[in-house]
Structure 1
Amino acid sequence: MQHLNLQVSAEGLGLALFQLNVFYNIWGEGMMMRRGRRSAEEHEAFHLNVELLDMEMNSAELHICTSLSASLGVNSTGMVLLEVGLLSGFALQQDGLQTNELIKKVEMQPGKVILYLDSMTTEEVCFWIPLVMEYKVGKVQEANVIIYNYYEPRQRTVRLYQSEKRANMTSCSFCGEDCSLCKPEENNDGSILSNGQNRLMSSFSPALLLLFIITFFSV
């Protein structure tokens, strides 16, 4: 055991918060023998349950429930971060999460939402996270949800979730049965026109198109 000398000083007027967390293990009889046989779940610092509700095509909801594991031997933690990975094509609904006594901050990052939680206790808390589809994606892969102690990141729990419905969707699910709505078309010279280009060209009348060509080559 190493001794630690700690000195704290402050000057001026105002409010300061100093927090010191101390973690230690007390080995009981037979504990050493069971150490190598514990499963990963027994070491998890938090209970975490994630459920995806995606009955609608253009929206979905994540239902997340979590609590501090009693196996840690403490009743509460300091700040806890809940990182919610998002399925491809989805984003957090505008004003979908509001700060409160528990949720101190909501941070958006590419592909995920981070909730800064004031603390976590052994009493379960749940969150509803509304999502909206920003763009259409086929064969959507699973995403993860991570909760961990801000001051002790090794204390964490990870869960994966996925949408079986969207995982089995192909791009043709959005492009018609034969995928014709997403296929490029050939031009007269053999070059490929995208659907957007084809729709743009077809919107011009022959006279207007001829005027455009004459004007272009006369410049």
Structure 2
Amino acid sequence: MFKHQTNFRFHRLTAFVIKSFSQAVSFTYIDINVITKAVQWIIKQQETSGAFNEPGIVLHKEMQGGSVSSKRSLTAFVLIALLEARDINLVSKEVQKSVTESINKAVKFVANGAPASIANLYELAIAFYALSLAKHPIAGAILAELEKKAKVNGGEKYWTLPETEADKLQPWKTWRPPQTKVRAIDVEMTSYILLGYNLKDDTDNGIRIMKWLGRQRNPRGGFISTQDTVIAIQALSGLGEKIYVPNFQMSVNTVGDTWSQGKTFDVNNRNALVLQIEDIPNTVRSVSVNANGKGLCLMEVAVYFNVNNDLREPAFALTTTVLNDSTKGFRLRVCFSWLRGGQSTMGILEISLPSGMEADLDSVDTTNTGGQYKKVEKAFRQINLYFDAILSKQMCIEVDIRRVALVARHKPVWVKLREYYEPSNEVVKFYQSKALANATIIEVCGPNNCEEVKRR
């Protein structure tokens, strides 16, 4: 099994590894014994009802423990992993019988009373794909419910959580779609439904979903979080296999209002998998695109900009205080809390370091973190502290930051707190050593150093 360093065993993490190995086996060597042991462990944790319930720390809010609703989401996720592993013979023959029995029990639990008994849209989406993969007849009834809740707009099709439910996760403050990106959970839900459509060979609906998902990607090819990116890429790849045209030739021409020469992209069988990029001049304010030929390709125009304030109500409170400030170093206190009721999932506190400064990891004080602190690691010009959760009650850490190089006139540097598995929930604050910000190079050097600087 795969576990946390505190010895919590994670059903979801183990299932995720099984799923990932199932997808990777076509491209690299995977030891079948490793997968078999993981599968054996996870099916031993199954309840007599067929459900799986997470005993460890919750990493994904839609699978938070306790209710039958949450058990159904987690059970569907594990069921998908077991089905995908079984379908490509990634478990040894010795355990295939017990795997089949476990799958049948999980299918019965997920399908029980569906769709009427399913509590929310996320559960409908993941249950639809899981039961479609299992070829269960109730998947059709679940799809009918999903169709009632679908949003269709301009040739696109997608699903989003109701505003009242979504606002508890990621409330918008000022801007709303389409001016800003959707939530990760919406991308994940819609991707599960696309996976189900792929199994039905329904490319008409698949292309409508693809158009919407394509607009939600960030310029680097991912989406919002790890979870939605993994599922979305799997769904889009599956659709791509079904709509692939063996012989195609396309020419895509782009021009801008102040960019008359433009750029022409040629896409064909030989370069279809090659990413083509062109930097548009900063003066361009509008771009026209014209495509001709035969085939299907995706063109994206990425625009980067800054805003003065965060677009959403903050998920965290965060303050920084510089203590014992001097030109030789200082002690930094960071206090923080979760603002949306209950507690967050796994959190990471990133503290960037001023130029010429180094954090003393032995000095880190985490006694005021409610037992949630797990570890600290050093990265390039920053340190990262990990927490099982960020509590609604204020938590504080302190660390000594000492000078290791002669640098004066320090500028403010940032501290960032975010949910590890929901990175859009983040807050950023800055801190600054006033002593070092106001110090001259001679004051930093001291009376007996930097003679060359003094002579200048």
Query: Could you state the TM-score of these two structures normalised by the residue count of structure 2?
Result: 0.33
Deviates more, 1:9-18 or 1:139-148: 9-18
Structure with the larger strand share: 1
Matched, 1:45 2:315: yes
Q: What are the Cα deviations for residues 65-108 of structure 1, in whole angstroms up to 9, with x where unaligned?
A: 100013xxx41122100001112222112511277842211110
Residue in structure 2 matched with residue 13 of structure 1 by the alignment? 41
Separation in structure 2 between the aligned mates of residue 76 and residue 25 of structure 1, nearest angstrom: 22
Q: What are the Cα deviations for residues 19-44 of structure 1, in whole angstroms up to 9, with x where unaligned?
A: 5423955349xxxxx95389738611
Deviating beyond 6 angstroms after TM superposition, the runs of 4 or more aligned structure 1 residues are: none
Residue in structure 2 matched with residue 63 of structure 1 by the alignment? 333
Q: What are the Cα deviations for residues 157-185 of structure 1, in whole angstroms up to 9, with x where unaligned?
A: 000111222112221223468x9613499
The answer to whether the 8 A contact 2:327-2:439 is kept is no
Separation in structure 2 between the aligned mates of residue 135 and residue 102 of structure 1, nearest angstrom: 34
Separation in structure 2 between the aligned mates of residue 169 and residue 64 of structure 1, nearest angstrom: 24
Deviation at 1:55, TM superposition (A): 2.9
Residue type of the alignment partner of 1:21: K
Higher relative contact order (CA 8 A, sep 6+): 1
1:1-219 matched pairs, under 5 angstroms: 11-13=39-41, 19-22=59-62, 24=161, 26-27=163-164, 36=174, 40=310, 43-70=313-340, 74-97=341-364, 101-175=371-445, 181-183=451-453
The answer to whether the 8 A contact 1:99-1:106 is kept is no
CA RMSD of superposed structures (Å): 3.5
- Matched position secondary structure for 1:174: helix
The answer to whether the 8 A contact 2:325-2:435 is kept is no
Deviation at 1:53, TM superposition (A): 1.6
Higher Cα Rg: structure 1 or 2? Answer: 1
The answer to whether the 8 A contact 2:342-2:391 is kept is yes
Residue type of the alignment partner of 2:329: S
Unpaired segments ≥5 residues, structure 1: 1-7, 29-33, 186-219
Do the aligned partners of residues 35 and 109 (structure 1) sit closer, same or farther apart at CA in structure 2, a change above 3 Å counting? closer
- Matched position secondary structure for 1:95: strand
Separation in structure 1 between the aligned mates of residue 329 and residue 364 of structure 2, nearest angstrom: 15
Give the number of aligned pairs. Answer: 170
- Matched position secondary structure for 1:120: coil
The answer to whether the 8 A contact 2:366-2:397 is kept is no
Residue type of the alignment partner of 2:61: N
Separation in structure 2 between the aligned mates of residue 19 and residue 87 of structure 1, nearest angstrom: 32
The answer to whether the 8 A contact 2:365-2:399 is kept is no
